[in-house]
Structure 1
Amino acid sequence: MIEIDGSYGEGGGQVIRTAVALSAVTGKEVKVTNIRKNRPNPGLKQQHLKALETAASICRARTSGLFPGSTELFFSPMEIKGGKYEIDIGTAGSITLLLQSLMPALPFAKEKVELMIKGGTDVAWSPTIDYLQHVTFRALKHLGYAGSVTLKKRGYYPRGGGEVSAVFEPCKLRGFHFRKEEENKRGGENPIEEDIRKGGRDLNQGKEVMGVSHASNLPAHVPARQAEAAESILLEAGYGSRINVQSCELLSTGSGITIWSGYCGGSALGERGLPAEKVGRRAAEEIISELRTEASVDVHLADQLIPYMALAGNSSYMVREITLHAATNIWVTEQFLGVKFRIEEKEGLFEVSVD
């Protein structure tokens, strides 16, 4: 049995998500203690519980400690099964974070896994659904990963109500070395981008940035202003952009914008009293800080890729910063897979690699 100190490094939910996913892959029992110990409200929250319960269902695991506020859990997996699963987080808990608990294990399922998930698609402190779809899955495809997500409805904090379907096929992961030149291929391998071009703005200057600006139960000018502000900042920095604008009426009220280019993204969410222009500017400034470097992936994708790179072997990327999330994910992954990541500083960037 592997024992993981949940207060290590980042000390949040990511420790649990990676530990449970890799427990399912390896078949090794895991005990996680001190869960979210240093958070204002320690222990498991609703979205963690739903992720753990779903992971347990998919790999027929024996578990203990799965209750609100629990600071210790035990997870003993069996065979990873395919099938269809419906998950309702019950709050605006992040759908993308729930998927992080499952996705590294799903290539090893015996059959296809189909998920229908209800919760939050665009909420704070988590990747947006558009980032997952257009950045994370784009990168994972190069590692041989066979999965996709489809947005049905958006869900914002606090009411949630978002719906996402996801399909994962059994597959064999393969090594890949992420490089800047791969990112520069216009349009890349993302089939969604053609749809966005049809409704977006064609500003062909420099590297092209794609995006979606969206809002629910708010005036149509809100997502439009978010997009216009982002486009303006990007153009000043030398990047053309095509940002689709979406306005709808859903269960929850909110707004946001996600933009991407290759393996880099930027996003921001609307807040009460925060001008739409500032929302768009935040997203643009985030991606510009990545595109101006020679990094091959952004700092958020860098930590997400760690378990997949370890499972695939012979992989690497360049990133401008080793975040606490990335360092934590490396540590947890090494506990399960017996691999050793190398981090080398090169001309102001960091190369992260695994054999």
Structure 2
Amino acid sequence: MDSTTLEVDGSVMEGGGQILRVSAALSCITGTAIKISKIRAGRTTPGLRPGHPNSMTKVTWPQHLCGLQLLRDICAGSLDGAAIGSTEITLNPGKITSGDHLADPQTAGSVGLLLQASLPCALFTDASTQLCLKGGTNAEMAPQIDYTVKVFKPTLEKFGVHFDCDVKMRGYYPKGGGEVVVTVNPIKQLSPVTMTERGTITKIYGRAFVAGVLPYKLAKDMSTAAVRTIRREIKDLYISIPSLQEKDQACGNGNGIIIIAESSTGCVFAGSSLGKKGVYADKVGIEAAEMLLRNLRHNGCVDEFLQDQLIIFMALASGTSRIRCGPVTLHTQTAIHVAEQLTQAKFTISQSDDDQTNNPTFIIECQGAGLSNPHL
């Protein structure tokens, strides 16, 4: 191993795929060669491994492997050790180049997680980049594509980031088969953000869906249960969660719901849930509603799932970013740990001193590294 190669411990803190995504993306952007060891050591089946035939792990390992290969292609680099069962990889980045890139794990591996890894790199190209991402658009343990479009995308625009997300086909577990085409415009430098005032919730809406052979009634039951649950806490707001039957634009059978809340200051939150065999549809709707309500009870500006996804952009931005959130998650702490290893960014977390509620909020502050795109 070259003396300039940075060693990243894949077992620290969250010990999962996030360390891979954040460190590999930052490796490409900064031009720093990295060696990641003890990959996914925090998981029951560590490494880039297929796992038990009935386990979601067999879906996730090609997703991690595919994500690394996508990053290697975007930065015209070399990737060693990326194989099934591997617990150690080395990424030597080259020059980030624009163009068309395809990532297809050939499973229901999450399209949203593939985008999380590749989007930051695509911002530092010399021209528009097109990412064709295949797999699961609505997968467990990952952001649904609706979350990416309705929550993640508008928040990133505050950093000056712009991308288009065209959902060609939805894909569900276990087959996948989804396809999303993302067009990313390069940026000279990311702007810092200040998101500390939530304001009032002005809008709640969403979608409850069924796909394939599943009956339409499931979507209606999810929607009805979700609206009823939210109404117990939020009485004076119109809630629109239409029930949808996906036909031609979906591959496989699936059902689920996502509910989005917007605030007067442009903050966006969401709660979501996917149907599972043997779980009543109303329970799926209630789970999504309770997730949303949990994230609205504190006075933060981002939900628990957006928190960690913004860390890499705060680290790259030029200037000081401040974001108010609820309890800081382990995923967020992990992303901060990796970002500080690979950039000059410095993070601090402090509890807000103006909270009058039983749900404390925290301020994540970052002195960004201010990386510039050398191609622009």
What TM-score do the two structures reach when normalised by structure 1? 0.91
Is the 2:323–2:364 Cα contact (8 Å) retained in structure 1?
A: yes
Identify the match of residue 294 of structure 1 among 270, 274, 299.
Answer: 299
Is the 2:114–2:133 Cα contact (8 Å) retained in structure 1?
A: no
Identify the match of residue 216 of structure 2 among 213, 220, 225.
Answer: 220
Identify the match of residue 139 of structure 1 among 131, 137, 155.
Answer: 155
1:174 maps onto 2:179 in alignment: no
What is the CA-CA distance between 1:251 and the residue it aligns to?
2.8
Residues 261-276 of structure 1: matches in 2 within 5 Å? 261-262=261-262, 263-276=268-281
What is the CA-CA distance between 1:166 and the residue it aligns to?
0.6
Question: Which piece of structure 1 moves more, 242-251 or 124-133?
Answer: 242-251
- Aligned CA RMSD, in angstroms, stands at 1.3
1:336 maps onto 2:353 in alignment: no
| Percent of residue pairs identical | 36
1:285 maps onto 2:290 in alignment: yes
The runs of 5 or more residues in structure 1 that have no matched partner are 185-205
Identify the match of residue 243 of structure 1 among 238, 241, 244.
Answer: 241
Which residue is equivalent to 1:15? 19
Which residue is equivalent to 2:56? none
Identify the match of residue 308 of structure 2 among 297, 303, 307.
Answer: 303
CA distance in 2, matches of 1:283, 1:219: 20
Question: Which piece of structure 1 moves more, 288-297 or 238-247?
Answer: 238-247
Identify the match of residue 63 of structure 2 among 6, 24, 47.
Answer: 47
CA distance in 1, matches of 2:348, 2:42: 28
What is the CA-CA distance between 1:62 and the residue it aligns to?
1.2
Question: Which piece of structure 1 moves more, 67-76 or 310-319?
Answer: 310-319
Encode CA deviations 1:287-336: one digit per residue, 9 max, x unaligned: 11111221111111011000101111311111111111000000000001
CA distance in 2, matches of 1:37, 1:234: 38
CA distance in 2, matches of 1:13, 1:102: 14
What is the CA-CA distance between 1:256 and the residue it aligns to?
0.8
CA distance in 2, matches of 1:280, 1:179: 30
Which residue is equivalent to 1:256? 256
Identify the match of residue 37 of structure 1 among 38, 41, 45.
Answer: 41
- SS of the residue 1:39 aligns to: coil
CA distance in 2, matches of 1:53, 1:285: 37
Which residue is equivalent to 1:210? 205
Which residue is equivalent to 2:10? 6
Which residue is equivalent to 1:190? none
- SS of the residue 1:154 aligns to: strand
CA distance in 2, matches of 1:251, 1:130: 16
- SS of the residue 1:111 aligns to: coil
Which residue is equivalent to 1:352? 364
What is the CA-CA distance between 1:18 and the residue it aligns to?
0.2
CA distance in 1, matches of 2:205, 2:105: 30
What is the CA-CA distance between 1:63 and the residue it aligns to?
1.3
- SS of the residue 2:152 aligns to: helix
Encode CA deviations 1:44-92: one digit per residue, 9 max, x unaligned: 1111111111111111011101111110000011111111122221000
- SS of the residue 1:298 aligns to: coil
What is the CA-CA distance between 1:272 and the residue it aligns to?
0.9
CA distance in 2, matches of 1:213, 1:109: 37
Is the 1:207–1:240 Cα contact (8 Å) retained in structure 2?
A: no
Identify the match of residue 99 of structure 1 among 98, 108, 115.
Answer: 115
CA distance in 2, matches of 1:242, 1:150: 23
CA distance in 2, matches of 1:167, 1:243: 28
The runs of 5 or more residues in structure 2 that have no matched partner are 49-60, 263-267, 368-376
CA distance in 1, matches of 2:241, 2:168: 19
- SS of the residue 2:43 aligns to: coil
